[in-house]
Amino acid sequence: MVLCLTFWACSGSGQKVLDHRFQDQVWRDGDTLWASLPIKEPGRAYDIALEVGLASSYPWQNLYLMMIWEQPDGFRQASRLNLVFQNEAGEWYARNGRFQTFIGRSVRPGGAGLYRLGLMPYVRADSVPGIRYLRIRIYERE
């Protein structure tokens, strides 16, 4: 269900369902951010985009996230994401501190209702420094 593809030309036309700024540019372990995805037409396809704002102080080449998909009936499914911000030569995939990727392509919810998407850091530390913001947009596919 989840396919991560890096993209750079993300227009602002999608519905913004999460826009969170981190106090002191630190994402604390266990701090799950939730995006609400109201689905009115079951079976319609959606793309889900993620944007991460990185400070110059971000210490790692990547970031592991736990993604939790919650259906209207309360059923939850979790999966792990690996966001790679730099290549082996240390060249950033982020532009101006903005890393963008799809975390879901052609996602087709089975029914109407309020779905929720949760993201939390999945690291061996009590916090993730150098994260300025996190945004999620949903795009209806034609």
Domain boundaries in the chain? 27-131
CA-only gyration radius of the chain, Å: 15
Note the pLDDT of residue 12.
52
Tokens describing residue 25: 């540019």
Write down the pTM of the prediction: 0.86
pLDDT value, residue 30: 86
* pLDDT of the chain, 142 residues: tens digit per residue: 333 333 333 445 789 999 999 999 999 988 999 999 998 888 899 999 999 999 999 999 999 999 999 999 999 999 999 999 999 998 999 989 999 999 999 999 989 999 999 999 998 889 999 999 999 999 998 7
User: Which residues make Cβ contacts (< 8 Å) with residue 139, sequence separation at least 6?
Assistant: 13, 14, 15, 46, 47, 48, 49
Neighbours of 123 (CB within 10 A): 16
Look up the CATH number of domain 27-131: 2.60.120
pLDDT for the residue numbered 2: 34
What is the rounded CA–CA span in Å between residue 22 and residue 59? 16
